[in-house]
Amino acid sequence: MTRFQFAAAFCCAIALPVAAQDQPDTVWMIVQHDVAAYSPWREVFDSGLSTRQSAGELQFEILTKPGAPVAIMAIFEWTDADAALAFANDPAVRNAMQAGGVISKPVITLHDTDPRFWTDLNKPVTPIDLAADDGG
């Protein structure tokens, strides 16, 4: 393999995953809430991976505040807005959140770009009001 062939293969290998994540119909959902304790919540969250993927989740990332691991921000990429909203409104999801120890009303927002790469953090965002939300 020549240097050129190696460089071309390397560049294509890097570009393909990035291009796959930038599909025009995908949507990003941010969920923020507090939990009673991180570890039990994470166990319940991780146990739902196959269910989330079957519903249309493509990837996720979990963030916590420094010094406050019970303040959760979950960033998800979904196949489309309908899949994300259907999952967020599923009563089984609410039950799992309660079982995992969610102690605050989730704040959920949808976005058409990956929030991990935002440059304009002053853009106003309106949270989604879930149907029949019981606060947890």
φ/ψ of 86, rounded to 5, equals: -60, -45
Residue 67: which residues within 8 A CB-CB, separation 6 or more? none
Q: Domain residues for 113? A: 23-117
- Please give the pLDDT value at position 124: 62
Q: pLDDT, tens digit, for every residue of 81-109?
A: 999 999 999 999 999 999 999 999 999 99
Domain CATH number, residue 55: 3.30.70.100
Q: How many domains does the chain have?
A: 1
Answer whether residue 132 shows pLDDT above 80. Answer: no
Domain assignment present for residue 15? The answer is no
Q: pLDDT, tens digit, for every residue of 23-52?
A: 568 999 999 999 999 999 999 999 999 999
- Please give the pLDDT value at position 17: 40
> 31: exposed, middle or buried (C-beta count within 10 Å: 0-12, 13-18, 19+)?
buried
- Please give the pLDDT value at position 114: 84
* pTM given for the model: 0.71
59 has which bridge partners? Answer: 77
